[in-house]
């Protein structure tokens, strides 16, 4: 089967955010979209690999692109339409930017170095980016204009547009209503979207059970891989399936801007050739008015090419080219000329003897029987003998010249250049026209024909010349068409029209260099693996729009509840010469597929509740079966999946004003729900409309919002419903803030350049869990090999700190986290992206530092910094993780984006020399929490009569919960001794540098406690648990007005003795990357958290595992 074949691609389709960053998206969106697009039996992954590093994207509206030249009355709607933009930056001229609407459909394809905007300008009444865009369309053929099928009456149109609705229901749609975004995610070279498709023709009596998915992948070389899906999410037990089945589709409904891409070309079906060099043999397609593409009609170029036809009759692609291509359509030229009617005598009836072109020509351009076209000629032995006609007309001189045979009457219609009477040649619109000698080909272009003839008694033709001088105009025509040298025969003339550009191909004519956009839709054999058939259609319109679409239709093209249709296809921009080889390579990669609900391989999605709020959490891996919620106050409310599954339906979180709902009915807040309609179905009264875009009880301007949560059993999850608000912070799992370096630094650590120098205390990022008293430095993404990077300990250090498990060997200074607020003391270094070559640059604060931190600090330092999490007290040299290469003296910082130019503005975090006693905490939970969560939300051992014994069920109730333990740093600390050297520890002794100790602020008892929730010093009433929004210091000591650190006073520096390494067989003491265990000979770093850790310690090490987590 085609979908089982391994595919080999690619090269594809424009800044914004780098492609290595996923952003502005909940992980639930990423899980659902990944699984819908990839996690089903026989899915074929994308093989696009040619765009690495060239893709950027954004969810922030970048403003109007004036070069797209949208229809001015609709420009103001674009900001509401915009959802995302994706950009490919090409080394050549094939850069592009696509803009995606709320439905995730492409409404702009802009190539700045090529033809410009591909999509039409949107001059379609009531349809700003609703119709003339790249989208999928679904139709219920039973209801669409169904006779007597809607409450005994004829049905209106039933079209579900992927893009949105027409503006035909005022006052509700004064602002357009676009199909609503349900999920979005961009990462790497792809962006993926889900949306709820809407009934387009308003006001409607129908509901919609159509969900659309769109994935765009940049494959480089100007090519976009586009996968589009339509899913019917109606419940499987629906009473009237004929009301929800989808039976006719456009994959896609699309098109191009005719003025930018006026020519359509398709290859020869038999040979595959695509000719464009010779105007007489160009494989062009006539583009007649939409609906005139029937087989055998004016658009049929033989064997179905260019006509409405099955894909089996084509070669799998259609190309549109920019102006400049020459096409020989001489049989159509005379369609501009009027004809004398059969048997008419113009000398007797000049005003009625002539017929206009629409009356006197056959479809192939030949005159109908008895009709005589005007014969253009100059009399023998004469010039045209031009005279002035009416002087200037619209800026150009008009003349009357003897340039046709006698015997023709009044032709009353004027003809302007650029107005083509050839309705199947849109490339002639906006072009030129001219009169030419048949003997030599010489001629002139003219802007206007006023009358081909007027009176049967003379031979005068009335027209304008591109000149404003009357004498010059007359002399030009007389000289070019001078026939005085031939006294025997008239000089035959021809009238021709040309597209914009030159009138004839010049010596440098190179059509292969013309810009082109190609749609690759595959050959008909692709549809052997799915029921139904594929068909390509195209045609012109009265607007600046050429329609292009591919249908999935005929018997078998049907989506019943739970079914999904998917199609992978391609769009690319290139030179015309590259269209054929590029398309030929892509045609075999087109994959249509129909997916029933038994082929999905979903992951688990669970809904957790806290009061009237909920969060939805997806398993972290594809097909994962369990989830984790870090909140100990949340309860599991419902379990479901990331994709369709038999018996399961999608759940939506919907807002309407201040109201919330979680459940399976997308029309929950729609006026009339439960009165004249229910979902899925239609209104029981054709006069009562269904307005998904309205909120019952609200004014017309208030609209709902929707978010897809997953697929759930509507019976077991029936307790959910109104009043539940979505809070994606309930189950947040903290993530590291430092980025992996792209190359090793070679000098000093680089901090980002500040907008002003720091002036006070250090700024720390807002913590995700309560601080434990000591400042914590960020976990490095690569191992130090000289100066270690410290992290929060789970037990008290007694000597030198143990560094966190690195992932690659560092060669420079340790990396600390990038600040989220202005620095006020010690600088926080950012992750550089290129090697530093000099002095570090300080971090760029978002506002000038003022001496007070602007965000809740992680802990307030009180004399002892917190070191990395040792599992047993270190006794000698600091232990670093086993590097993959020998240390070179300096730990690794991330590669900076520019060389540092000045020394660091503050000192690194000091090394502790006096151990701080840790405490044992616990939580009761069914699933194992993270140690940080236990320390943040747990209680002391035995507190409240619970959990006296480690890893036992003491006091946890009867719900299956277990005590989970962790050793945590203290929540408060007072400085009691001289602080250590203000540098991170080195593997060899260094000269200590004095650091002044902080002076505690006074409190009632003379001690200044720090609030564990926020780091506020001198806190007399600290709330350290419960909702994050309720934690913090409720009563500060006198003199305290906010979080700040004590002012240091100078003291005598204390030297730190060099540590002594623990012995191992090889004399080196590796650290287990999973837990930080020192001297580990067998470390398990992957798999379930409960299975990770050190399995074999060197002599003298006790394991130090987190209790309850073995």
The structure tokens listed for 818 are 């990038």
Interval 929-952 mean pLDDT = 60
Beta strands 339-340 and 116-117 are unpaired
**CA nearest to 1052, candidates 979, 975, 998:** 979
- Whole-angstrom Cα Rg for the chain: 38
Cis peptide before 300 (omega within 30 of 0): no
Q: CB count, 10 Å around CB of 993? A: 13
**DSSP letters for 802-852:** PPPPPSS---S----PPPSS--SSS------SS---SB------SS---SS
Using CA atoms, how far apart are residues 371 and 363, in angstroms rounded to an integer? 14
Interval 869-889 mean pLDDT = 38
pLDDT at residue 589 tops 90: yes
Whether 315 and 520 have beta carbons less than 8 Å apart is answered as: no
pLDDT at residue 728 tops 80: yes
Whether 127 and 99 have beta carbons less than 8 Å apart is answered as: no
Whether 760 and 852 have beta carbons less than 8 Å apart is answered as: yes
pLDDT at residue 94 tops 50: yes
Which residues are CB-neighbours of 563 under 8 A, at least 6 positions away?
231, 232, 594, 595, 596, 597
pLDDT at residue 852 tops 90: no
Q: Is 147 exposed, middle or buried (0-12, 13-18, 19+ CB in 10 A)?
A: exposed
DSSP 8-state secondary structure symbol assigned to residue 1038: T
**CA nearest to 994, candidates 1008, 976, 982:** 982
Using CA atoms, how far apart are residues 179 and 133, in angstroms rounded to an integer? 13
Beta bridge mates, 1096: 1082
The structure tokens listed for 552 are 């999935």
Report the b/e string of 644-660 with b at 16+ CB within 10 A. Answer: bbeebbbbbbbbbeebb
| Residue 673 phi, psi (nearest 5) | -65, 125
Whether 982 and 912 have beta carbons less than 8 Å apart is answered as: no
Instruction: Give residue 424's pLDDT band: very low, low, confident or very high (50, 70, 90).
Output: confident
Alpha-carbon distances, residue 262 vs 281, 321, 428, 809, 878 (angstroms): 18, 6, 9, 58, 72
Q: Which residue would you say has higher pLDDT here, 703 or 770?
A: 703
**DSSP letters for 621-639:** STT--------TT-EEEEE
Which residues are CB-neighbours of 860 under 8 A, at least 6 positions away?
771, 773, 775, 1010, 1015, 1016, 1017, 1043, 1044, 1045, 1046
Cis peptide before 252 (omega within 30 of 0): yes
Alpha-carbon distances, residue 825 vs 861, 909, 975, 1040, 1108 (angstroms): 12, 11, 18, 19, 39
**DSSP count for the chain of H helices, then E strands:** 6, 48
Whether 640 and 648 have beta carbons less than 8 Å apart is answered as: yes
Using CA atoms, how far apart are residues 329 and 428, in angstroms rounded to an integer? 10
In the block, residue with structure tokens 């992954």 = 45
Q: Which of 160-164, 363-367, 902-906 has the highest mean pLDDT?
A: 160-164
Instruction: Give residue 727's pLDDT band: very low, low, confident or very high (50, 70, 90).
Output: very high
Beta-carbon-side half-sphere exposure of residue 254 (alpha carbons within 13 Å): 29
Q: Which of 154-158, 485-489, 730-734, 736-740 shows the lowest per-residue confidence on average (mean pLDDT)?
A: 736-740
pTM over 0.75: no
* pLDDT reported for residue 418: 67
pLDDT in tens, 35-46: 999 999 999 999
Q: Is the dihedral of CA 232, 237, 238, 243 positive or negative?
A: positive
Q: Which residue would you say has higher pLDDT here, 41 or 840?
A: 41
Using CA atoms, how far apart are residues 296 and 290, in angstroms rounded to an integer? 15
Using CA atoms, how far apart are residues 981 and 962, in angstroms rounded to an integer? 43
Whether 829 and 815 have beta carbons less than 8 Å apart is answered as: yes
pLDDT in tens, 265-291: 999 999 999 999 999 899 999 999 899
Tallying the residues shown for the chain, one arrives at 1110
Q: Which residue would you say has higher pLDDT here, 647 or 898?
A: 647
Give the H/E segment covering residue 580: helix 576-586
Share of the chain above pLDDT 70, in %: 63
Q: Which residue would you say has higher pLDDT here, 423 or 1062?
A: 423
Q: Which residue would you say has higher pLDDT here, 138 or 362?
A: 138
Alpha-carbon distances, residue 1063 vs 654, 1068, 1080 (angstroms): 61, 7, 11
Q: Is the dihedral of CA 631, 632, 633, 637 positive or negative?
A: positive
Instruction: Give residue 586's pLDDT band: very low, low, confident or very high (50, 70, 90).
Output: very high
**DSSP letters for 639-676:** EEESS--TT-EEEEEEEETTEEEEES-TTTTSTTBTTT
Whether 1100 and 1063 have beta carbons less than 8 Å apart is answered as: yes
pLDDT in tens, 964-999: 667 776 543 333 333 333 333 334 444 444 444 444
pLDDT at residue 1050 tops 50: no
Distance, C-alpha 622 to centroid of its chain: 21
Conformation bin of residue 573: beta by default, left when phi > 0, alpha when psi is -120 to 50: beta
SS3 895: coil
Whether 1085 and 1072 have beta carbons less than 8 Å apart is answered as: yes
* pLDDT reported for residue 1017: 58
The structure tokens listed for 166 are 């027409």
In the block, residue with structure tokens 């070389």 = 221
Conformation bin of residue 1081: beta by default, left when phi > 0, alpha when psi is -120 to 50: alpha
Using CA atoms, how far apart are residues 287 and 297, in angstroms rounded to an integer? 11
Give the H/E segment covering residue 17: strand 17-18
pLDDT in tens, 206-225: 999 999 999 999 999 999 99
pLDDT at residue 947 tops 70: no
Give the H/E segment covering residue 614: strand 613-618
């Amino acid at each position: 089967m085609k979908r089982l074949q391994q595919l080999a691609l690619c090269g594809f389709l424009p800044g914004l955010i780098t492609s290595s960053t996923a952003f502005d998206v909940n992980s639930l969106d990423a899980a659902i979209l990944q699984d819908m697009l990839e996690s089903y039996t026989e899915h074929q992954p994308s093989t696009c690999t040619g765009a690495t590093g060239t893709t950027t994207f954004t969810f922030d509206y970048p403003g109007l692109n004036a070069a797209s030249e949208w229809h001015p009355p609709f420009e103001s709607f674009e900001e509401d339409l915009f959802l995302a933009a994706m950009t490919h930056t090409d080394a050549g001229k094939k850069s592009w930017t696509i803009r995606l609407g709320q439905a995730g459909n492409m409404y702009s394809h802009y190539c700045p170095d090529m033809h410009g905007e591909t999509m039409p300008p949107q001059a379609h009444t009531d349809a700003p980016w609703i119709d003339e865009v790249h989208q999928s369309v679904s139709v219920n053929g039973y209801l669409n204009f169904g006779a007597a099928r809607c409450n005994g009456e004829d049905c209106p149109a039933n079209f579900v547009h992927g893009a949105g609705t027409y503006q035909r229901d005022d006052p509700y749609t004064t602002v357009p209503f676009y199909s609503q975004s349900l999920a979005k995610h961009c990462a790497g070279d792809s962006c993926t979207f889900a949306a709820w498709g809407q009934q387009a023709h308003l006001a409607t009596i129908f509901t919609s059970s159509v969900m659309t998915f769109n994935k765009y992948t940049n494959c480089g070389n100007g090519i976009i891989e586009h996968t589009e899906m339509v899913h019917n999410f109606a419940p499987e037990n629906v009473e009237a399936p004929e009301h929800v089945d989808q039976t006719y589709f456009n994959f896609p409904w699309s098109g191009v801007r005719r003025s930018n891409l006026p020519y359509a070309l398709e290859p020869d079906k038999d040979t595959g050739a695509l000719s464009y060099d010779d105007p007489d043999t160009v494989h062009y397609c006539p583009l007649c008015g939409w609906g005139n593409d029937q087989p055998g009609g004016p658009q049929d170029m033989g064997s179905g090419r260019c006509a409405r036809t099955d894909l089996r009759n084509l070669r799998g692609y259609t190309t549109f080219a920019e102006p400049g291509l020459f096409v020989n359509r001489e049989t159509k030229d005379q369609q501009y000329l009027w004809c004398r009617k059969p048997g008419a005598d113009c000398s007797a009836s000049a005003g009625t003897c002539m017929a206009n072109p629409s009356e006197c020509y056959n479809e192939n351009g030949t005159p109908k029987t008895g009709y005589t076209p005007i014969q253009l000629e100059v009399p023998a032995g004469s010039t045209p003998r031009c005279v002035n006609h009416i002087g200037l007309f619209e800026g150009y001189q008009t003349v009357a010249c003897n340039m046709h045979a006698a015997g023709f009457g009044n032709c009353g219609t004027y003809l302007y250049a650029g107005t083509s009477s050839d309705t199947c040649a849109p490339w002639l619109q906006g072009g030129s026209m001219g009169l030419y000698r048949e003997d030599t080909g010489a001629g002139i272009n003219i802007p206007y024909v006023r009358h081909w003839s007027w009176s049967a008694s003379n031979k005068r033709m009335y027209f304008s010349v591109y000149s404003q001088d009357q004498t010059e105009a007359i002399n030009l025509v007389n000289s070019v068409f001078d026939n005085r040298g031939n006294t025997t025969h008239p000089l035959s003339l021809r009238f021709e029209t040309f597209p914009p550009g030159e009138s004839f191909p010049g010596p440098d004519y190179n059509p292969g260099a013309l810009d082109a956009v190609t749609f690759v839709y595959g050959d008909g054999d692709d549809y052997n693996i799915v029921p139904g058939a594929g068909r390509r259609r195209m045609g012109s319109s009265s607007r600046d729009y050429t329609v292009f679409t591919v249908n999935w239709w005929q018997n078998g093209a049907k989506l019943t509840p739970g079914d999904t249709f998917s199609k992978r296809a391609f769009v690319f921009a290139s030179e015309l010469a590259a269209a054929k080889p590029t398309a030929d390579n892509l045609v075999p990669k087109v994959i249509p597929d129909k997916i029933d609900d038994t082929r999905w391989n979903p992951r688990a999605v669970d809904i957790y509740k806290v009061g009237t709020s909920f969060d939805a959490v997806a398993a972290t891996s594809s097909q994962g079966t369990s989830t984790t919620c870090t909140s100990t106050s949340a309860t599991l409310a419902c379990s479901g999946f990331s994709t369709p599954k038999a018996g399961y339906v999608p759940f939506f979180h919907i807002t309407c004003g201040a109201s919330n709902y979680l459940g399976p009915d997308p029309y929950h807040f729609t006026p009339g729900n439960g009165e004249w309609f229910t979902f899925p179905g239609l209104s029981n009264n054709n006069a009562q409309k269904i307005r998904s875009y309205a909120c019952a009880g609200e004014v017309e301007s208030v609209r709902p919002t929707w978010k897809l949560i997953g697929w759930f059993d509507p019976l077991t999850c029936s307790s959910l419903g109104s009043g539940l608000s979505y809070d994606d912070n309930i189950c947040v799992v903290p993530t590291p803030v430092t980025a992996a370096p792209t190359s090793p630094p070679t000098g000093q650590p680089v901090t980002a350049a500040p907008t002003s120098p720091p002036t006070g205390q250090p700024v720390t990022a807002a913590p995700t869990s309560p601080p434990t008293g000591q400042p914590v430095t960020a976990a490095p993404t690569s191992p130090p090999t000289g100066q270690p990077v410290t992290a929060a300990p789970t037990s008290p250090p007694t000597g030198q700190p143990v560094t966190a498990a690195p992932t690659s060997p560092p060669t420079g200074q340790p990396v600390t986290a990038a600040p989220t607020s202005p620095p006020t003391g010690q600088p926080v270094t950012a992750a550089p992206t290129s090697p530093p070559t000099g002095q570090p640059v300080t971090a760029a604060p978002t506002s000038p530092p003022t001496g007070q931190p602007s965000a809740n600090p992680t802990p307030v330092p009180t004399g002892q910094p917190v070191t990395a999490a040792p599992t047993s007290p270190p006794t000698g040299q600091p232990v670093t993780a086993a590097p993959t290469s020998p240390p070179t003296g300096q730990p690794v910082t991330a590669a900076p984006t520019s060389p540092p130019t000045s020394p660091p503005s503050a000192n690194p975090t000091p090394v502790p020399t006096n151990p701080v006693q840790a405490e044992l905490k616990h939580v009761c939970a069914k699933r194992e929490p993270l140690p940080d969560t236990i320390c943040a939300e747990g209680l002391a051992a035995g507190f409240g009569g619970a959990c006296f014994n480690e890893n036992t069920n003491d006091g946890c109730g009867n719900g299956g919960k277990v005590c989970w333990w962790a050793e945590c740093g203290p929540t408060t600390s007072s400085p009691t001794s001289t602080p250590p050297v203000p540098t991170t520890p080195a593997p060899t002794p260094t000269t200590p540098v004095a650091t002044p100790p902080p002076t505690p602020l006074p409190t009632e008892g003379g001690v200044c406690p720090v609030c564990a929730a926020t780091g506020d010093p001198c806190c007399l009433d600290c709330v350290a648990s419960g909702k994050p929004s309720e934690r913090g210091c409720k009563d500060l000591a006198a003199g305290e007005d906010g979080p700040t650190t004590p002012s240091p006073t100078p003291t005598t520096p204390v030297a730190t003795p060099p540590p002594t390494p623990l012995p191992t067989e090889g004399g080196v003491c590796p650290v287990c990357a999973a837990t930080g265990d020192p001297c580990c000979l067998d470390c398990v770093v992957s798999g379930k958290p409960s299975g990770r850790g050190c399995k074999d310690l060197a002599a003298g090490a006790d394991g130090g595992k987190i209790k309850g987590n073995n």
